[in-house]
Amino acid sequence: MKAMQVTQYNTPLVLQELDMPQAGTGEVVVQVATCGLNFGDTLLVKGSYQEKPKLPFTPGMELAGTIVAVGGGVSGLKIGQRVAAYCGVGGLAEVAAVRAEICVPLPDEMSFEDAAAFLITYGTSHLALGAKADLLPGERLLVLGASGGVGLTAVELGHLMGAEVIACARGAEKLAICAQKGADYLIDSDHADIRDSVKALGGADVVYDPIGGAQFEAAMRASNQGARLLPLGFASGDVPQIPANILLVKNMTVLGFYLGGFAKLHPKAMARSCETLLQWYLEGKLKPHVSNVLPLSEANEGLDLLRTRKATGKVVIKIAT
């Protein structure tokens, strides 16, 4: 089978011919149809992610496809079943062995393209906003990096959860997509002062931040008393240092969130969230925004779209026709 692999950190992926994986105990083998790229994949390739697989390895944090083999001890899954999985690594391959417990059966109505753009971004936003920040109807939610993979789902889910959503992104084209997903207010981070703009709207009650750096500091200073801050990543490359005196004076709470770690700590909450999100998808309340679909051989180009922030929503690699 073919797979795109990291053979050396911080270098382009290499298309390799590998042996077909076998289904071990508790595993299924999936014929991969699509793989959703995430900003975390760019960090994996660079060698700066919080998890560092041994070289060589196949990146690709989430996949969707059809089960072609079932290992011992697996129940509830069968050959021919359509599934998606948040696998961490292994998605950029024609075939992948995946732990059965992390496979999510797909409804017939969900395409593989949508499935590969669903689990990580919607799961991150739903659990961060709901389980962590306890976002309430009528509260004001500020989303930084609002046109990106997780950011756009935060806009969409924040609107669905009854919040007043402020979307912050770069340029009119990206902000227009945020408006389509339910943003009430739009801030162009290339030109506007985030702190002044948010304060003029009444301040933020919850801040959703995958960017970090100066934007996090501006958002924190524009937040209201009792605000909750969600640092989810540092796409700017700058991890902000949080002054405790501001937290004290404003009675603010900082809530770190990493989906992989949360899933291990709270698997039942993760499962409930997935069920809710799939139901909302079937009801037409959610629709993944995929800006680019590329073949496996162009996975490097897909990662570059994320690094340079040229993509909106998700980049999906289409592996099987």
Structural domains of the chain, with CATH:
2-118+288-318 (3.90.180.10), 121-260 (3.40.50.720)
Mean pLDDT, residues 122-127 taken together: 97
pLDDT at 320 over 80: no
- What per-residue confidence (pLDDT) applies to 36? 98
pLDDT band at 187 (very low <50, low <70, confident <90, very high): very high
Least confident of 151-165, 232-246, 270-284: 232-246
Q: What is the pLDDT of residues 155-165, one digit of tens each?
A: 999 999 999 99
pLDDT band at 51 (very low <50, low <70, confident <90, very high): confident
- What per-residue confidence (pLDDT) applies to 138? 97
Mean pLDDT, residues 1-20 taken together: 97
pLDDT at 223 over 80: yes
pLDDT band at 140 (very low <50, low <70, confident <90, very high): very high
pLDDT at 45 over 90: yes
pLDDT band at 76 (very low <50, low <70, confident <90, very high): very high
pLDDT at 267 over 90: no
pLDDT at 132 over 80: yes
- What per-residue confidence (pLDDT) applies to 15? 97
- What per-residue confidence (pLDDT) applies to 236? 86
Q: What is the pLDDT of residues 79-122, one digit of tens each?
A: 999 999 999 999 999 999 999 999 999 999 999 999 999 999 99
Average pLDDT, the chain: 95
Question: Three-class SS string for the chain?
Answer: CEEEEECCCCCCCEEEECCCCCCCCCEEEEEEEEEEECHHHHHHHHCCCCCCCCCCECCCCEEEEEEEEECCCCCCCCCCCEEEEECCCCCCECEEEEEHHHEEECCCCCCHHHHHCCHHHHHHHHHHHHHHCCCCCCCEEEEECCCCHHHHHHHHHHHHCCCEEEEEECCHHHHHHHHHCCCCEEEECCCCCHHHHHHHCCCEEEEEECCCHHHHHHHHHCEEEEEEEEECCCCCCCCCCCCHHHHHHHCCEECCCCHHHHHHHCHHHHHHHHHHHHHHHHCCCCCCCEEEEEEHHHHHHHHHHHHCCCCCEEEEEECCC
pLDDT band at 321 (very low <50, low <70, confident <90, very high): low
- What per-residue confidence (pLDDT) applies to 249? 94
